[in-house]
Amino acid sequence: RMPVSVPAAESRQRASAAFSLNFLSLVFSITAFSSSYWCEGMRKVAKPFCTGQSKGDHCIHFNSPDANNSNAVQYIWETGDDKFVDRKFHAGIWYSCEEIVSEEGEKCRSFISLTPAADRGVLWLSIAAELLYIILLLTGAILTSVEMCYYSTVIDGLKINAFSAVVTVLAGLLGMVAHMMYTTVFQMTVNLGPEDWRPHTWDYGWSYCLAWASFASCMAAAVTTINKYTKTILVLKHKRKMLERSLKIKYKFPHH
């Protein structure tokens, strides 16, 4: 009895590992999809004129002591980079936000509206692939949990295991394609997007890293599920061979 119970316990452990990886991938993908920190960077924004009691380096000062006197000739001696101030921005699949020059807080715009018209279709394909990726991850997690909690026959468990493996692998491929498409669209938007949005410097943010971590976790879950399926098949084949061998011995020596 002992050799039979060990593979069952090991099988349950592998199913639990696959479920944990699948669930982790699902949480990462939903968090990344709903956030706007796929890319972060700096924009050079022209400084506004200082008004009222405004002071500091975030606005351009008048040379005239009486700024309200329209007859006074005002000279601005600031040139080059002195006319500009750096402002942080971050962008995701849904919207892009940047700091407001003269106030605290952020100003957000739809990222879809910033994307060049020629690349907007690719962005929508990326969004559709991301949504399908999340749906397939959820399906894989449900199938793995059913396999863990519901045992009728070994064959039924193998069928669920095989379907879960296919769904998880397909989810991983979709996630990879979706992430790559968004990366391409963002780079095209940086080069061809509106002048009042184009960043001066930028890099990928934590949401982008989280999206690829979700992909890695998804593929790890797929490998674990396939490994469990393969090992179960090998164990069944081994048991079948042992049974056939015992039957041959029994028919060969019927009196014993």
pLDDT, tens only, 77-129? 444 446 667 788 899 999 998 887 666 778 888 999 889 888 899 999 999 99
3-state secondary structure of 69: coil
**Both tokens assigned to 59:** 């606005």
Q: What is the pLDDT of residue 74?
A: 43
pLDDT, tens only, 204-222? 999 999 999 999 999 999 8
Beta pairing partners, 34: none
Interior angle at CA 85, CA 83 and CA 87, nearest 5? 155
Q: Please tell me the pTM assigned to this model.
A: 0.75
- Residue range 6-35+116-240 in CATH 1.20.140: yes
Q: What is the pLDDT of residue 87?
A: 81
Q: Quote the DSSP letter at residue 119.
A: G
Segment 18-27 shows an average pLDDT of 91
